[in-house]
Amino acid sequence: MTHRTAIAQIPKADTSRTRLDSHRLRRDFPLLQEALHKGVPLAYLDNAATTQKPMQVIEALHEYYTSYNSNVHRALHRLGEQATLRFEEARTKVAAFIGAPSTRSIVFTRGTTESINIVAHTLGRCRVQDGDIIMLTGMEHHSNLVPWQLLAKQRNAKLEFIPICEDGTLDLDAFESMLTERVRLVSVTHMSNVLGTIHPVKRIVDSAHRVGAKVLIDGAQSVPHFPIDVESIGCDFLAFSGHKMAGPTGIGVLYGKEELLEEMPPFMGGGEMISKVTLESSTWAELPYKFEAGTPHIAGAIGLGAAVDYLNALGMDCIHQRESELTTYALQKLGEIRGLRILGCAPERGGIISFIMDAVHPHDLSQFVDQNGVAIRAGHMCCQPLMHILGVQSVSRASFYLYNTEEEVDQLIEALDQAMRFFSNGI
């Protein structure tokens, strides 16, 4: 349980091979075979919220529950040993997937939100003092904002925010001028879940480290879509969720540098995270188990391991290339619709497009296009401060994944055209 496992690096995907065949890949995803609303084919374009699951992941969950369902790290019987083996194999796969040097730096959590909260409630309380600064951006998901607000209030610290440029990028020159030795933590999204902007996180990390600040990267929208190497980036922490990368819900990951995880106190107390317990005191288990109190989401971790296998087989470079092609196509088609405004125009962006239609409220639009088989997101995207900066209450959002096609974009465009005509005529 407490052994250290070195991680071999995953070979880079061969981008010279044939581009991903999204039509073929769709056969792996049962829900994408469903027809909704009187036989209308489903165009699922809400992948930034959660992705669909391939049969390979579903079968891994089924196999665990039907073939070796048992708790991990405790039992000496055959089922317990097999469950522990598969659970720890998943940790090894995840570590390699993000370029982590050891499984000791991989903590299984419930998702990105819990991962960020662990850092805020442990390292944050240890390192942030009266008058210190926590630096964020105005485009953070609430999960990467609220925990830091709570910490700042508890420690009498200050929150400062990297300015946002008109194109949806961060003003990194301003950021670097704002850095002082009072900045203790910097926490930024790798890719905006509203604007799709991909931030140059290595530059952010390098700049923050020069003043001694630690950096957490919210990788919820990046890890599923393009290659990530935490050692190359140099970040101190990376948080992401399984359900956004073809894995199960309720499972996530916190990567942390070992020396920082060693420094941090436990987040929760209970079984599994202890070494020795007396009536008066306790000592803690080695990493990463110090942060995994109680029975973990065993099936979720195993399912996440299966999702990692699936993505590795396709190649993360190839996935990113395919999504970039589809996003370029969608931006062109959406740009041809009169009365539609796309938010953000960063040169480096992922497969997320948020937009406003003059004649239609986003909530009405989402319901209308749903009748045409198109699933998009509408609302403030858990980014209310960014909505305020953009001067809107809510937006519509289409987000893509490896199984989406140009035909689905065309289905979206046709549904938007119908909505524009319908609402413009006041019907």
What SS3 class is residue 227?
Answer: coil
For residues 393 and 380, the answer to whether their CB atoms sit within 8 Å is: yes
When comparing pLDDT for 82 and 12, which is higher? 82
The pLDDT tens digits for 160-218 are: 999 999 999 999 999 999 999 999 999 999 999 999 999 999 999 999 999 999 999 99
pLDDT in the model for residue 3? 33
> Residue 8's pLDDT is what?
32
pLDDT digits (tens, 9 = 90+) for 374-404: 999 999 999 999 999 999 999 999 999 999 9
Distance (Å, rounded) from C-alpha 398 to C-alpha 33? 20
Query: Which residues on adjacent β-strands are paired with residue 282?
Result: 277
Q: Tokens at residue 381, please?
A: 């995207």
Is residue 279 classed as helix, strand or coil in its secondary structure? coil
pLDDT digits (tens, 9 = 90+) for 119-148: 999 999 899 999 999 999 999 999 999 999
Q: Which of 145, 105, 48, 118 is nearest to 349 (CA)?
A: 48
Just list the catalytic residues.
Answer: 382
Looking at residue 268, its pLDDT comes to: 92
Produce one character per residue of 371-397: b if its CB has 16 or more CB atoms within 10 Å, e if not: ebbbbbbbbbbbbebbbeebeeebbbb
Give the model's confidence band at 4: pLDDT under 50 very low, under 70 low, under 90 confident, else very high: very low
Percent of the chain with pLDDT over 90: 90
Percent of the chain exceeding pLDDT 70 equals 95
How far CA 324 is from CA of 314, 352, 354, in Å, comes to: 15, 10, 16
Is pLDDT above 50 for 110?
Answer: yes
To the nearest 10 degrees (0 to 180), the angle between helices 406-424 and 316-335 is: 30
Amino acid identity, residue 306? A
Pairing of the two strands 274-277 and 252-256: unpaired
**Residue 265 region by backbone torsions, left for phi larger than 0, else alpha for psi between -120 and 50, else beta:** beta
Has residue 11 got a pLDDT over 90?
no
Q: Would you tell me the crossing angle of helices 316-335 and 298-314 to the nearest 10 degrees? A: 80
Banded pLDDT at 74 (limits 50, 70, 90): confident
Mean pLDDT of the chain: 94
Average pLDDT over residues 220-246: 98
For the full predicted model, state whether its pTM sits above 0.75.
yes
DSSP class of 223? T
pLDDT of residue 426: 60
- H-assigned helices in 336-405: 362-370, 384-390
pLDDT for res 10: 31
* Mean local confidence (pLDDT), 311-340: 97
Contact 302, 90 (CB under 8 A): yes
Domains of the chain, start order: 22-49+315-419 (3.90.1150.10), 59-313 (3.40.640.10)
Q: What pLDDT score does 18 carry?
A: 59
Q: In this predicted model, what pLDDT tens digit does every residue of 241-279 receive, in sequence order?
A: 999 999 999 999 999 999 999 999 999 999 889 999 999
Structure tokens at 227: 């290659």
pLDDT given for residue 199 in this prediction: 98
Distance, in Å, from the CA atom of 72 to the CA atom of 51, rounded to the nearest integer, reads 28
CA distance 91 to 316: 19
